[in-house]
């Protein structure tokens, strides 16, 4: 089972200009966090989930300005991601290219709202959007045929 990788990124306001037409529709505030998450995935795939949780915690619980690069880098250090690798991917276009791939994939699937989940099990897949818990649970029962 895989959830769409960028669906969980946080939306915040900032004034970071968009560098490509692919990411131009992202709010100026969501782009740094999306790029940071993609850079974390590239630098340390096994730590990207922890990085995203720490980024969300910093925003929601600690109320830190996670649009600020120094805050992002603090979280990189706290989650044990190699800073040099993270910086390279964040700034050399690799993270943006990976984000563009995700956005193209989302567009091909017709994703227009968040959260959206792509649930994959064996040779089956279901895309779910705008749902409540009972609907979400029913999808898992249906796709796994109760396994």
Q: In this predicted model, what pLDDT tens digit does every residue of 86-103 receive, in sequence order?
A: 999 999 999 999 999 999
Which residues does residue 121 pair with via DSSP β-bridges, in sequence order?
124
Q: What is the pTM of this model?
A: 0.69
Domains, the chain, with CATH or none: 8-109 (1.10.472.60), 115-147 (no CATH)
CB atoms within 10 A of CB 35: 24
Distance between CA atoms of residues 147 and 137, nearest Å: 13
Residue written as token pair 């619980």: 61
- pLDDT for 15 equals 28
**Of 99, 43, 33, which Cα lies nearest the Cα of 72?**
33
């Amino acid at each position: 089972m895989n959830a769409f990788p960028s669906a969980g990124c946080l939306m915040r306001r900032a004034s970071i200009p968009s560098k490509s037409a692919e990411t131009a529709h992202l709010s100026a505030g969501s782009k740094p966090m999306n790029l940071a998450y993609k850079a974390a995935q590239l630098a340390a795939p096994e730590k990207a989930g922890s990085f995203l949780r720490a980024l969300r915690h910093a925003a929601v619980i600690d109320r830190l300005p996670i649009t600020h690069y120094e805050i992002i880098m603090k979280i990189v250090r706290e989650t044990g991601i190699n800073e040099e690798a993270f910086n390279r991917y964040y700034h050399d276009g690799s993270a943006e290219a990976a984000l563009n791939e995700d956005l193209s994939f989302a567009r091909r699937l017709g994703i227009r709202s968040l959260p959206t989940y792509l649930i994959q099990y064996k040779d089956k897949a279901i895309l779910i959007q705008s749902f409540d818990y009972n609907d979400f649970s029913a999808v898992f029962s249906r796709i796994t045929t109760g396994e």
